[in-house]
Amino acid sequence: MKRYLFFCLLILMNVACENWQKSKMEPVYNKEIVEKAHLGKLIMEQECSLCHDPKASMVNRIAPPMVAIKRHYIDSNTTKEEFMEALIRWVNDPETETKMPGAHAKFGPMPYMPIPDDAIAQIADYIYDNELECPEGFGSCFQKVHMKGSGMEKCNYVDYPDAEGFYASIGLSYAKEAKSLLGENLAKVIREKGIVEAIDFCHSAAIKLTDSISIMNNAIVKRVSDQTRNPENQANEEELRYILNFKKALASGDDMKPIVHINNGEVNFYYPIITNTLCLQCHGKPDEQILPETLSALKFVYPKDKAMGYGDNEVRGIWSINFDTDN
């Protein structure tokens, strides 16, 4: 029986090797076979994916996903040989100059691992020629737009032509994270203790909760408004302009696309916060949606409150989020 198994294994290995050799000779053909049999992929999965896992969520990440590394190491002018050398240099000495200072600050140093150079070269070969798995939050597999021509040997990286769309998806994921953290907590307090208690909760916890999202993501996540309840959330001049733009877009039924500015390795992201009926209990019209006891509690904590009089589906403010292009 053992012998039989051994033969099976031999046959399997033969098939795998044949495929691999074939793919080496004819790289333009069946992409699936090339990918399946690529030694670099296997080594990468065994040695690197533990930390560079594309499936880890934004919060659970312990190292940048490999696709982000690819983007930083390969642009339209980088040859495969240059990339191989750079990757070998890095893995042999992860203290050398980082190309991803944001990742370095966020995740700490990568440990040294004794991996032979030719194994790293295989990984580099695989990364250079193939599309890598995109983690959630990286847009809809943005690598596809990097493809030039149809043949695989031409599958090269060019600068991301739609960097704004790419960073918009990252900004949106932070905004969503913050929104659900605030929303879930607020709903729970309202359910368990009522509106007046919930005001206390917002007062003591809203900024702390958005700060916690900031720390987790190495970003600055703020909720700002043109009509503030807490003056700390006052929008600056630039933000006020965007609030106005979003109000106009909402009124004319246009799409509310995020605003993204990229400058010197920094991204500024803005996205509207829209009211629904739940909000009106504290941000609606006094004595209509805001009950008298809520109103007096609000007046007590926020004597300069300007955040009332809203209706359903109005721009209450914006998410103003700042992060590094390495995030």
Is 90 near ligand HEC (CB under 6 A)?
yes
Nearest distance in Å: CB 5, ligand HEC: 31
Query: Do the Cβ atoms of 243 and 314 come closer than 8 Å?
Result: no
Q: Which is nearer to ligand HEC, 24 or 299 (CB)?
A: 299
Nearest distance in Å: CB 174, ligand HEC: 15
Q: Which two tokens stand for residue 228?
A: 């503030």
The alpha carbons of the chain give a radius of gyration, in whole angstroms, of 26
> Residues 179-198 vs ligand HEC: string with x where CB under 6 A?
----------------x--x
> Residues 109-148 vs ligand HEC: string with x where CB under 6 A?
xxx---x-------x-------------------------
- Nearest CA to 280 among 293, 267, 270, 290? 290
- Nearest CA to 316 among 173, 182, 177? 182
Distance separating alpha carbons of residues 179 and 251, to the nearest angstrom: 23
Nearest distance in Å: CB 262, ligand HEC: 20
Name the CA dihedral angle for 301, 306, 307, 309, rounded to a multiple of 10 degrees.
120
Q: Which two tokens stand for residue 201?
A: 């909760």
Q: Binders of ligand HEC among 195-224, rule CB under 6 A? A: 195, 198-199, 202-203, 206-207, 223
The Cα-based distances of 15 to 19, 31, 35, 255, 277 in angstroms read 6, 17, 15, 53, 63
Looking at 275, 291, 309, 324, which residue binds ligand HEC (CB under 6 A)? 275
> Which residues contact ligand HEC by CB under 6 A?
47-48, 50-52, 63-64, 69, 87, 90-91, 98-100, 103-104, 107-111, 115, 123, 195, 198-199, 202-203, 206-207, 223, 225, 228-230, 233, 273, 275-276, 278-279, 281-283, 307, 316-317
